[in-house]
Structure 1
Amino acid sequence: MSSEDTREILPDSPFRHETSSRDAAPQFVLPLVVRIEKAAPPSRTDALETAARAVLEILADERSTGEGEWARAMRDWQDARIRKVVRRARGAEWRKACTLPGITVTGGGADAETDEARAGGAAQVRVFPPVPLDSWPKELAKLQVSGTELDDPEPPAAPDPARPVLWLSPELEMSAGKAMAQAGHGAQLAWLDLSEADRKAWRETGFALSVRTAAPADWRALTARGLPVVRDAGFTEIAPGSCTVVADHPSLRGRAGR
Structure 2
Amino acid sequence: MRPDYDPLDDPPWAMQLVVRAEKADPPTHGAVCEAAATAVVELLTDPRAADPEGEWHQAVHEWESRRIRKVARRARGVRWPEVQELPGVTVKVNGAEVRAFVPGQVDEVPPQIAKLQVAGLDLEDAEDPPPAPPVPYAAIALNPDVTMTTGKAAAQSGHAAQLLLRQAPAADVTAWLEGGVRVHLARGIPWHDCVQNATIAVRDGGFTEVPPGTMTAIAWIVR
Question: Which residue of the partner structure matches residue 219 of structure 2?
Answer: 247
Matched, 1:40 2:25: yes
Question: Which residue of the partner structure matches residue 16 of structure 2?
Answer: 31
Q: Which of residues 232, 244, 249 in structure 1 aligns to 2:204?
A: 232
Task: Determine the C-alpha separation between the residues in 2 that align with 1:146 and 1:71.
Answer: 29
Matched, 1:63 2:36: no
Aligned residues: 219
Task: Determine the C-alpha separation between the residues in 1 that align with 2:85 and 2:211.
Answer: 40
Task: Determine the C-alpha separation between the residues in 1 that align with 2:174 and 2:208.
Answer: 38
Unaligned runs of 5+ in 2: none
The alignment partner of 1:39 has SS state of: coil
Superposition RMSD in Å: 2.4
Task: Determine the C-alpha separation between the residues in 1 that align with 2:106 and 2:207.
Answer: 19
Matches within 5 A, 1:114-153: 122-153=95-126
Structure 1 residue 173: deviation in Å? 1.2
Task: Determine the C-alpha separation between the residues in 2 that align with 1:106 and 1:146.
Answer: 22
Task: Determine the C-alpha separation between the residues in 1 that align with 2:23 and 2:12.
Answer: 34
Work out the percentage of aligned pairs sharing the same amino acid.
42
Matches within 5 A, 1:1-258: 22-23=8-9, 25-65=10-50, 66-108=52-94, 122-157=95-130, 159=132, 162=135, 163-213=137-187, 215=189, 218-224=190-196, 227-234=199-206, 239-250=211-222
Unaligned runs of 5+ in 1: 1-17, 109-121, 252-258
1:137 partner letter: P
Given that 2:172 and 2:221 are in contact with CA atoms closer than 8 Å, whether structure 1 keeps it comes out as no
Structure 1 residue 236: deviation in Å? 6.6
Task: Determine the C-alpha separation between the residues in 2 that align with 1:151 and 1:22.
Answer: 37
Task: Determine the C-alpha separation between the residues in 2 that align with 1:226 and 1:125.
Answer: 25
Question: Which residue of the partner structure matches residue 3 of structure 1?
Answer: none
2:76 partner letter: R
Task: Determine the C-alpha separation between the residues in 2 that align with 1:195 and 1:223.
Answer: 17
Given that 1:183 and 1:245 are in contact with CA atoms closer than 8 Å, whether structure 2 keeps it comes out as yes
Structure 1 residue 237: deviation in Å? 6.5
Structure 1 residue 94: deviation in Å? 0.7
TM-score (norm 1): 0.77
CA deviations on 1:51-80 (whole Å, 9 max, x unpaired) are: 000000011000002110001100000001
1:127 partner letter: A
1:154 partner letter: E
Task: Determine the C-alpha separation between the residues in 2 that align with 1:101 and 1:235.
Answer: 26
